[in-house]
């Protein structure tokens, strides 16, 4: 996809998320549950966008009438005018023809494919939109080392985590030969596996510093679905337009299984408000490998587009977030 000409661009980016955690520790042993939901999206709209899909069936092939005389132009100068016929010359008034050639077909002739051109697709307006949502839950068993001192408290955890990464990529094009083109691609990554973690905390008066790291060895079952239409608002076959292109609807589906490791790092500063309530602020980074992204899956090939079956492990999804919340303890 390339952009050219005068265009107006509007871009929207957003990211929101929630995390709920609860658990219990008695002595050195305990358990914890964490529920995560993160949403993010981007949208870009532009005018005058050149769109160059693969065209193995030559659906964008057509003929050219530059002088608007109603006949295909003779681009290779062999006096055969595309589909219109052969120019024998200028009528001599005696049922014959003489030079010069007048550019008007006089007799039928086989179609001269060398007079054909591949038409360029330019959308009047094009929008691409990407929406990503991560939802997950983890169940962890916790062991707290008994030797608490001024250097802090160390906790070890192990358990299982489930994470769903749902990614949607929409391509919307209006105007031009492919007018009212719509491509909707959705990938679901269902990741589950064992997880281990370590957490260090240190209390100083009303404040507590917490550093935590976790690692997930996940099995990822991926599902990709694609649907759409192309040239749904057009009919072709004339001059100065594609000959063989027609409106088309399509639908595809594909599944994969991949290994998806995930690492998480958290740093939090907790300030006590009273004996039971504290304010928490911090930073969280999530890095997930082997994730299928919808934008990488699209195959831009006319007329049915398609899904790239080799794009299941190319992406590493990185999320950075500043976090704020309340902590309740009793």
Tokens linked to 185: 């691609």
Closest CA to 188 of 226, 137, 228: 226
Residue 65: predicted pLDDT? 93
Q: Which tens digits make up the pLDDT trace of 236-262?
A: 667 788 988 888 999 999 999 999 999
Looking at residues 33-45, what average pLDDT do you find?
91
Q: Please, are residues 75 and 113 in contact by the beta-carbon 8 Å criterion?
A: no
Instruction: Tell whether the model's pLDDT for residue 329 goes beyond 90.
Output: no
Q: Which tens digits make up the pLDDT trace of 153-208?
A: 999 999 999 999 999 999 999 998 999 999 999 999 999 999 999 999 998 888 99
Closest CA to 61 of 119, 141, 7: 119
DSSP lists the bridge partners of residue 181 as 173
Tell me the CA distances in angstroms from 205 to 106, 223, 267, 327, one per residue in order: 100, 50, 18, 17
Q: CA-based angle 154:155:161, to the nearest 5?
A: 150
Residue 3: predicted pLDDT? 42
Closest CA to 228 of 315, 123, 307: 307
Per domain, the residue ranges of the chain are 2-58+124-328, 61-118
Q: Please, are residues 298 and 259 in contact by the beta-carbon 8 Å criterion?
A: no
Tell the burial category of 191 from Cβ atoms under 10 Å away from its Cβ (0-12, 13-18, 19+): buried
Instruction: Tell whether the model's pLDDT for residue 32 goes beyond 80.
Output: yes
């Amino acid at each position: 996809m390339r952009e050219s000409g005068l265009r107006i661009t509007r871009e929207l980016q957003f990211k929101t998320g929630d995390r709920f955690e609860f658990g219990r520790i008695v002595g050195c042993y305990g358990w914890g549950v964490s529920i995560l939901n993160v949403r993010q999206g981007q949208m870009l709209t532009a005018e005058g966008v050149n769109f160059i899909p693969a065209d193995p069936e030559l659906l964008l092939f057509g003929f050219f009438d530059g002088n608007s005389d109603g006949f295909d132009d003779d681009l290779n100068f062999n006096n055969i005018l595309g589909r219109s016929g052969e120019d024998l010359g200028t009528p001599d008034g005696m049922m014959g023809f003489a030079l010069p050639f007048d550019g008007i077909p006089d007799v039928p002739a086989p179609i001269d494919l060398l007079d054909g051109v591949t038409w360029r697709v330019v959308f009047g307006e094009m929008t691409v939109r990407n929406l990503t949502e991560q939802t997950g839950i983890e169940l962890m068993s916790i062991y707290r080392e008994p030797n608490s001192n001024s250097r802090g408290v160390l906790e070890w955890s192990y358990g299982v985590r489930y994470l769903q990464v749902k990614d949607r990529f929409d391509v919307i094009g209006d105007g031009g030969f492919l007018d009212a083109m719509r491509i909707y691609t959705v990938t679901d990554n269902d990741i589950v596996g064992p997880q281990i973690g370590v957490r260090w905390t240190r209390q100083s008066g009303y404040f507590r510093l917490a550093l935590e790291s976790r690692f997930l060895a996940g099995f990822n079952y991926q599902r990709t679905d694609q649907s759409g239409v192309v040239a749904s608002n057009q009919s072709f076959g004339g001059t100065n337009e594609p000959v063989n292109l027609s409106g088309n609807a399509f639908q595809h589906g594909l599944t994969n299984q991949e290994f998806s490791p995930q690492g998480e790092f958290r740093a939090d500063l907790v300030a006590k408000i009273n004996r039971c309530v504290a304010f928490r602020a911090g930073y969280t980074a999530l890095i997930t490998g082997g994730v299928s992204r919808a934008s990488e899956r699209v195959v831009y090939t006319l007329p049915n587009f398609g899904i790239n079956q080799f794009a299941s492990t190319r992406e590493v999804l990185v999320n950075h977030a500043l976090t704020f919340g309340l902590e309740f303890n009793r």
